[in-house]
């Protein structure tokens, strides 16, 4: 029960911190494009904008760092707290359970230790590869760096979906993007800003290229926000993460998310890129087409008694999906799914078919050794109407 409360508390904390981080990110991207030149030029002031809230007008100036303000606000801890709480949740759900929830033997056979190593190693490698690429050629050839980044991103999605269970793969794609984003903030954006301020205070001309580099990384972060949210939401829908082409679905969804964010940013610039509607709408259409439910043929095989299906669920599934789980890793039934009552089992029949028969994702890691013959019995019982009488 303590573990469940930790999970609940940190998930809520992660959500709140993420809202704060994404909110400030969206706000500053909008703010950066909202400034207009001053009627009378002032030293170091590049523009101003006015806003209204709570019955008051707010005037904001965009200034070069020539004089250190008395109070300077840094928006940085929102990113750090979001990432730290996310890593804690990743460890709580995947690492502390021996990597069991990472493994899908139907995709790639590996031990729990190997799975945890891949989980941690790829998060670190993702940032290192991305940062090296943009440090090496990002300033000279940003379009080439962008193309390579997109190809590497698709490769990472394919890799995760090839070796991990569907839900774990989707979450790790989001975690990889999130790691890149927080590392951008703390290792590139903030240090560049600090160096520029230090140079100004020392009476030297700041290296304005550092500011451009920080802005570039900040824009990258902004484009990754919606894809990260998509991975978080999609891992609650098995039709997406357990689809045979789940890596294709996630790639398309990330393109849709980035296209929507591009629309938002260009609207902020007062120069809407209406063409971005095309990849967003086409992508959504492809996702819908790929996830349309299959037509289940009429099953004419001998009827399966509910007692036979119930026996399989009891022997292979009730260790976790019970009001009193006996599995040492799960003190509470995962996702609140309990097979104790016949009417509940009947109502959950479509999900059982998806998870057990189609995706073969359950039992988790096939720890209870469900056979193909048992999966076929469950399929027949469900396709025959999932009768419990």
Q: For position 299, what pLDDT does the model report?
A: 67
383's CB contacts (< 8 A; 6+ apart) are: 296, 297, 299, 353
* Percentage of the chain exceeding pLDDT 70: 98
Query: Mean pLDDT across the stretch 264-281?
Result: 91
Q: How far is CA 365 from CA 112, 115, 129, in A?
A: 10, 12, 31
By the 10 Å C-beta count (0-12 exposed, 13-18 middle, 19+ buried), 323 is classed as exposed
329-334: average pLDDT: 76
Q: Is the pLDDT of residue 351 over 70?
A: yes
Summarised one tens digit per residue, pLDDT across range 41-63 is 888 788 999 999 988 999 999 88
pLDDT at 310: 92
Cα of first residue to Cα of last residue in the chain, in angstroms, is: 35
Segment 304-315, tens digit of pLDDT: 899 999 999 999
Q: Indicate if the pLDDT at residue 296 is higher than 70.
A: no
Least trusted range by pLDDT, from 59-73, 90-104, 216-230? 59-73
For 9, 11, 175, the CA distances from 4, given in Å and listed in that order, are 8, 10, 21
Residue 376 near residue 296, CB atoms below 8 Å: no
- Kindly state the average pLDDT of the residues 347-365: 84
Mean per-residue pLDDT over the chain, rounded: 89
Phi-psi region of 45 (alpha: psi -120 to 50; beta: other; left: phi over 0): beta
Where on the phi/psi map is residue 98: left (φ > 0), alpha (ψ -120 to 50), or beta? left
| Phi then psi dihedrals of residue 41, to 5 deg | -65, 140
Q: Write the pLDDT tens digit of every residue in 116-152.
A: 999 999 999 999 999 999 999 988 899 999 999 999 9
pTM to 2 decimals?
A: 0.83
Whether residue 74 has pLDDT greater than 90? no
């Amino acid at each position: 029960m303590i573990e469940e409360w930790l999970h609940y508390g940190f998930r809520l904390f992660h959500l709140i911190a993420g809202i704060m981080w994404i909110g400030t990110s969206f706000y500053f991207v909008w703010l950066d494009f909202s400034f207009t030149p001053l009627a009378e030029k002032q030293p170091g002031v590049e523009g101003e904008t006015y806003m209204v809230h709570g019955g008051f007008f707010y005037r904001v100036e965009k200034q070069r760092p020539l004089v250190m303000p008395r109070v300077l606000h840094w928006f940085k801890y929102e990113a750090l707290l979001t990432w730290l709480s996310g890593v804690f949740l990743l460890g709580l759900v995947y690492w502390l359970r021996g990597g069991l929830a990472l493994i899908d033997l139907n995709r790639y056979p590996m031990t729990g230790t190997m799975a945890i190593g891949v989980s941690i190693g790829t998060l670190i490698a993702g940032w290192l590869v991305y940062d090296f690429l943009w440090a090496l050629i990002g300033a000279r050839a940003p379009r080439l760096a962008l193309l390579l980044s997109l190809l590497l991103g698709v490769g990472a999605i394919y890799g995760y979906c090839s070796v991990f269970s569907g839900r774990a793969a989707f979450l790790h794609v989001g975690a990889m993007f999130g790691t890149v984003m927080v590392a951008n903030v703390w290792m590139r954006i903030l240090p560049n800003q600090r160096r520029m301020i230090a140079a100004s205070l020392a009476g030297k001309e700041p290296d304005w290229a550092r500011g451009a580099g920080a802005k570039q990384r900040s824009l990258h972060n902004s484009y990754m926000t919606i894809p990260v949210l998509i991975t978080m939401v999609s891992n609650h829908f098995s039709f997406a993460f357990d689809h045979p082409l789940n890596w294709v679905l996630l790639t398309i969804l990330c393109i849709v998310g980035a296209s929507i964010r591009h629309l938002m940013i260009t609207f902020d610039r007062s120069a809407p890129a209406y063409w971005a509607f095309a990849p967003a709408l086409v992508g959504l259409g492809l996702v819908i087409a790929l996830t349309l439910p299959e037509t289940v043929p009429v099953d004419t095989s001998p009827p399966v008694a509910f007692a036979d299906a119930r026996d399989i669920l009891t022997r292979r599934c009730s260790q976790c999906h019970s009001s009193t789980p006996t599995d040492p890793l799960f003190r509470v039934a995962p996702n609140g799914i309990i097979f104790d009552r016949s009417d509940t089992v009947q109502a959950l029949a479509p999900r059982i078919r998806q998870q057990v028969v189609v995706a073969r994702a359950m039992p988790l890691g096939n720890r209870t050794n469900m056979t193909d013959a048992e999966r076929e019995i469950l399929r027949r019982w469900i396709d025959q109407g999932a009768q419990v009488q």
